[in-house]
């Protein structure tokens, strides 16, 4: 499915719609070129789950955890820009970090992608004029998800 994101407000709305449906174990895989709006959408999801304050772009730290509470659901925000293969994920201990949490991953293709996971919501962001377009691919678990059928 395609979702037009002509403005930051539209990205916020998509983030809220995603946040409302998330379950532990899901992964939101955000792909797209530099500046495509991946971190913007991650921020919108976190805000909708109750995060107040900054959301640093985790390109240096690689992984930024947001525990629950105060969030409704624990989130791990990761940026895999500097990684070059799924083997690197063992090194950061991603499996342990993901336990009972939702992973929001920027540059998922750098670590082999997550599309094979039934809980994966894969979103490819493209620039269109001054705004963006989101191409959304739903993993099996998302086909029955409230608000996403």
Which residues are near ligand ATP by CB under 6 A? Answer: 5, 7-8, 10-11, 32, 34-40, 57, 106, 130-132
DSSP collapsed to 3 states, 12-69: HHHHHHHHHHCCCCCEEEEECCCCCCHHHHHHHHHHHCCCCCCCCCCCCCCEEEECCC
Considering the rule CB under 5 A, would residue 39 count as an interface residue with Mg ion? yes
Find the binding residues for Mg ion in span 126-145 (CB under 5 A): none
- Minimum CB distance to ligand ATP smaller for 130 or for 149: 130
Q: From the CB of 146, what's the least distance to Mg ion, in Å?
A: 28
Question: Which residue has tokens 């739903």?
Answer: 138
Our CB check for Mg ion shows the closer of 39 and 133 to be 39
CA distance linking residue 62 with residue 79, whole number of Å:
5
Smallest gap from Cβ 124 to Mg ion, in A, equals 14
């Amino acid at each position: 499915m395609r979702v037009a994101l002509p403005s930051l407000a539209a990205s916020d709305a998509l983030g809220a719609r995603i946040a409302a449906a998330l379950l532990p174990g899901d992964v939101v895989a955000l792909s797209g070129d530099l500046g495509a709006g991946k971190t913007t959408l991650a921020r919108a999801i976190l805000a909708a789950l109750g995060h107040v304050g900054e959301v640093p772009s985790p390109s240096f730290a690689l992984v930024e955890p947001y525990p629950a509470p105060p969030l409704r659901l624990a989130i791990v925000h990761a940026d895999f820009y500097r990684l070059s293969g799924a083997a690197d994920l063992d090194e950061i201990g991603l499996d342990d970090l993901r336990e009972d949490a939702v992973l929001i991953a920027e540059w998922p293709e750098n670590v082999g992608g997550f599309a094979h996971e039934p809980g994966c919501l894969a979103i490819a962001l493209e620039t269109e004029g001054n705004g963006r377009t989101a191409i959304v691919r739903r993993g099996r678990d998302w086909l029955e998800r409230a608000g996403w059928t």
